[in-house]
Amino acid sequence: MRPTLCHYINFLTQMAGEENFKEELRSQDASRNLNQHEAAGHPHSWSLEMLLHRLRADHTKQDDKFANLLDAVGEFGTFQQRLVALTFIPSIMSAFFMFADYFVFTAQKPYCNTSWILAVGPNLSEAEQLNLTIPRAPNGSFLMCLMYLPVPWNLDSIIHFGLNDTDKCRDGWIYPDAKKRSLINEAQLSGWSRCRRGCRGNRAEATAEFDLVCGAETKKDTAHIMFMAGPLIGSLIFGLITDKIGRYPAILLSLLGLIIFGFGTAFVNSFHLYLLFRFGISQSVVGYAISSVSLATEWLVGEHRAHAIILEHCFFAVGAMLLTGIAYSLPHWRLLFLVGGVLAVPLISYIWILPESPRWLMMKGKVKEAKQMLCYAASVNKKTIPSNLLDEVQLPRKKVTQASVLDFCKNRQLCKVILLMSCVWFTVSYTYFTLSLRMRELGVSVHFRHVVPSIMEVSARLCCIFLLQQIGRKWSLAVTLLQTIIWCLLLLFLSEERKSMTILMLTLGEFSLAATVTVFFLYTAELLPTMLRATGLGLVFLASAAGAILSLTIINQTPSLLPIFLCCILAIVAFSLSFLLPETRDQPLFHSLEHSPQMRNKVKDMTTEDTSSDDMSSDDMSEEAAKNVILNAQILRLDPYPVSKPALEQ
């Protein structure tokens, strides 16, 4: 039988009683020792808080019947371990396809295609052709976006008299220094090789609409914005789908999108088609993030839930590193998507091995399916669920058949929570993309921008394990946001000449934000009820996408310091708002909006309504009684460690 608050209080009362006979022997030293104890800042208060934390956790767990069921199934047995491992590969592939744009739009140095001169001088070298047909800048370098107009002269006349009339590039561009084929120069390279064999003009027929130079550079930013626009729609669609038809179908749908759109991108023949496929990939990525976190949150309990989400995010960073290595070794951008598509094909097997969430099944009134899923998990873990415990899985008082965004407006407290979380998510997304784009402006190599921050992000997310265990979700979020504020403020005072120091601050800022994302991802999932968990995650993802788009828009149109200044302001606001959110560590997951009393208790720090504080709940009285008994025992014992380690471990 699980120990209750009363058991702990009785034990501590007995411990205090056994020490009463020592009181007279210590009466002369009691006052002095107590004063020393207070002056030292209560060195044993940590033991007190740890014990009270365990009391609250055990008492909360007793109230969550589903947590007791998962205890009987096995808190983190083979079934749960396999479930967590199944999230790794899709996380890797999500990062792979998400950041592929950065390696597709590699910088190229273009020159106008002037293959017309090969008709009169087929034996000209590449350097001779450029010297005769491309005008030069005052510093002697070739102009990249101008060419000499063709003339009906022979080669000797062109060499002797030279050319004077210039115009913009008419027949596309060539890339003599390009070593790899990117989205920018693929068609031009193939067209140049054909023209070397004697073609004249008709260069536009081979361009395939991939001319992203000489005034068309903004198309690259359009591709980034289009990718971030995907979550604006996909977050709402997949949020509703995940809550409506289940976590399992939503995950399969998002994985199918990754395979189809990821593999299909390798075969696009126009820039607009490329944008369409990237839009589909971005929706699949956000759909998997929402549905997988919902599934893991509802299958796991306590710290196992936090560890699972942290590991999933760590493998997301591993995916970014894998992308960097593959992109560095492949000579063609299409091969990058082909390899990614091939690696994603095994995800089809998830149709047969992925489980559904029993919490969601229960809320939908599918009690039989929920019991079957729990029994299957118990059999994998080699456990047996007691029949009386399994009988507690019953139909909810009101079967949930619909989940709507409007439900967040109808429930005042839930509306406040979702608005606060959306503000913080907007800030985190805006700041992260601003720092990343700022590093790109400094001319840092694309490989460095992904490998080094990814390594830092893995360590940052692993550090979250310690933070979440020691100080909980609320204070972990506050600590990581405070770190972000510090790095952003330092960036404001660094001059542009100190490039290495600026890069270090940017990297540390991304380090803090990676930890913030992981903490807040877990925090958000725990704050939302099961019936609307995915929909709520979709809403905050929408705010996150809006922050990313705003960052892409502002940083290209404003001075370099203004975006960083906005990062500081927004981070300070988010830091302040984070204190209004309730703590969720060791709290039961909500199943529906009918848990309004619990919700009101969770958000009481945010409300300004008058509440009757005269009547104390039985739980609060128990905690106060526990505190008084422990403190009395400490005063009577008057030793540095009044609560022994065995007592804490019982």
Q: What is the pLDDT of residues 448-494, one digit of tens each?
A: 888 888 888 898 999 988 888 888 888 999 999 999 999 999 988 88
Contact 324, 291 (CB under 8 A): no
Lookup result for tokens 């091995």: 353
Q: What is the largest CA-CA distance in the chain?
A: 119
The reported pLDDT for the residue numbered 426 is 93
Q: What is the pLDDT of residues 89-115, one digit of tens each?
A: 899 999 999 888 888 877 677 777 777
Please report, in angstroms and rounded to a whole number, the separation of the first and last CA atoms in the chain.
12
The reported pLDDT for the residue numbered 211 is 63
Contact 111, 130 (CB under 8 A): yes
The reported pLDDT for the residue numbered 210 is 64
Q: What are the distances in angstroms from CA 83 to CA 239, 250, 593?
A: 21, 16, 28
166 - beta bridge partners?
148
The residue type found at 481 is: L
Contact 206, 187 (CB under 8 A): yes
Q: What is the pLDDT of residues 337-361, one digit of tens each?
A: 999 999 999 999 998 999 999 888 8
Contact 277, 264 (CB under 8 A): yes
Distance CA 93, CA 328 (A): 17
Element (H, E) at 492: helix 446-493
Task: Determine which of 71-80, 210-219, 594-603 has the lowest per-residue pLDDT on average.
Answer: 594-603
The reported pLDDT for the residue numbered 620 is 47
Task: Kindly report the number of other CB atoms within 10 A of residue 602's CB atom.
Answer: 19
Instruction: Please tell me the pTM assigned to this model.
Output: 0.76
Distance CA 303, CA 272 (A): 45
Task: Determine which of 528-537, 547-556, 575-584, 631-640 has the lowest per-residue pLDDT on average.
Answer: 631-640
Contact 424, 483 (CB under 8 A): no
Distance CA 574, CA 568 (A): 10
Structure tokens at 504: 């270090």
Mean pLDDT of the chain: 75
**Confidence label for 16 from pLDDT (cuts 50, 70 and 90):** very low
Q: What is the pLDDT of residues 490-535, one digit of tens each?
A: 988 887 778 888 888 888 998 999 999 999 889 888 888 888 888 8
Q: What is the pLDDT of residues 399-450, one digit of tens each?
A: 554 556 777 788 788 888 889 999 999 999 999 989 888 888 887 888 888 8
Q: How many residues does the chain have?
A: 650
